[in-house]
Amino acid sequence: MTEAVATAGPAGGAHSTGSLTPGQVSPLDQVKLFESKYDPVSVQILEGLPIERTWRCLELGPGAGSMATWLAGRAGQGSVLAVDVDISHLADVRAPNLTIRQGDVAEQDFADGSFDLIYARAVFEHLDDPRRTLERVLRWLAPGGWLVLEDFYYLPPEHATTDVGRTLIAGYLKRMAGQGADLWWGRRLPATLAQAGLTSVASRVTPAGPGQSDVDTELIALRLRQEGHALVDSGLVTAEQLSGFLDSLATGHARDITTLLVSAWGRRATA
């Protein structure tokens, strides 16, 4: 990552933009930063599975396509299908064995046993009924196939390390919940996979928050620059609170663990 630079955000606060080019920020930047934060975790987990070159893989919610591209290389003689409701960030993603399809996982259906690996990150927490969707997705797994899900568990905002952090995080989570996100789904992932009958269930937790890494801080600053106005407009936080938090990101004084990415995986029984 390049050295961080300071620019002015929507509320007038200076904050880190790191590798981003000032004045050229787009929603795609946020997606790519998200991938740069979490791809190393996802790749390490997937590399621990016995993925064969001929496997049929499905990724749900591929974002900007970094993991779909990685899977296409790993299963070079197999296939990868990437399905997302928004495929606008995937226009330049290409691989000979990669197919991109626009669709909603809540409405998609495939024949039983269609895939040897199904992977999704930060998808199920946004579904109206993630357990019911999971039951359907599990049918798509071939016997012996693997399911890898990664979703977030959002820590209580009242435990944040600063007053402005508590207010801002509470406002952000309230907005997410209002949009239908399940803020605690990630915590239930390992138990849910085990209860669904998968074997060899394992899990891993990755902390995130301001100051956890340069990418964490940069991602939070970008997200607030793009979405913070909605918090202000809805009265969840004030412009001064938003600006103050962005200032604290720039100085490095904002250090906290606000979120945990819970990665869980398991295998469908062979008989």
Domain total in the chain = 1
> pLDDT confidence of 25, banded at 50, 70, 90?
low
* Least trusted range by pLDDT, from 55-64, 113-122, 172-181, 199-208: 172-181
Q: Which of 40, 41, 90, 86 is nearest to 65 (CA)?
A: 90
CA dist 69 → 14, 93, 120, 145, 271 (Å)? 35, 7, 14, 20, 31
> pLDDT confidence of 7, banded at 50, 70, 90?
very low
Per-residue pLDDT, averaged over 154-171, amounts to 90
Residue 249 lies in a domain: yes
Residue 102 lies in a domain: yes
pLDDT at 64 over 60: yes
- Contact between 143 and 268 under an 8 Å Cβ cutoff? The reply is yes
* Least trusted range by pLDDT, from 28-37, 148-157, 161-170: 161-170
Q: What percent of the chain stands above pLDDT 70?
A: 91
* Cα angle, residue 73 at apex, residues 68 and 197 outer, rounded to 5°: 60
pLDDT at 19: 33
Domain extent for 161: 6-267
> pLDDT confidence of 28, banded at 50, 70, 90?
confident
Per-residue pLDDT, averaged over 252-261, amounts to 90
* Least trusted range by pLDDT, from 87-96, 178-187, 205-214, 252-261: 252-261
> pLDDT confidence of 208, banded at 50, 70, 90?
very high
Query: Is residue 162 classed as helix, strand or coil in its secondary structure?
Result: coil
Q: What average pLDDT does the chain have?
A: 88
pLDDT at 140: 98
Residue 1 lies in a domain: no
Query: Is residue 36 classed as helix, strand or coil in its secondary structure?
Result: helix
Residue 134 lies in a domain: yes
CA dist 215 → 53, 212, 229, 267 (Å)? 32, 8, 22, 32
Per-residue pLDDT, averaged over 54-77, amounts to 97
Q: Which CATH number characterizes residue 244's domain?
A: 3.40.50.150
Q: What is the pLDDT of residues 223-243, one digit of tens each?
A: 888 888 888 998 988 999 899
pLDDT at 133 over 60: yes
Residue 58 lies in a domain: yes
Residue 172 lies in a domain: yes
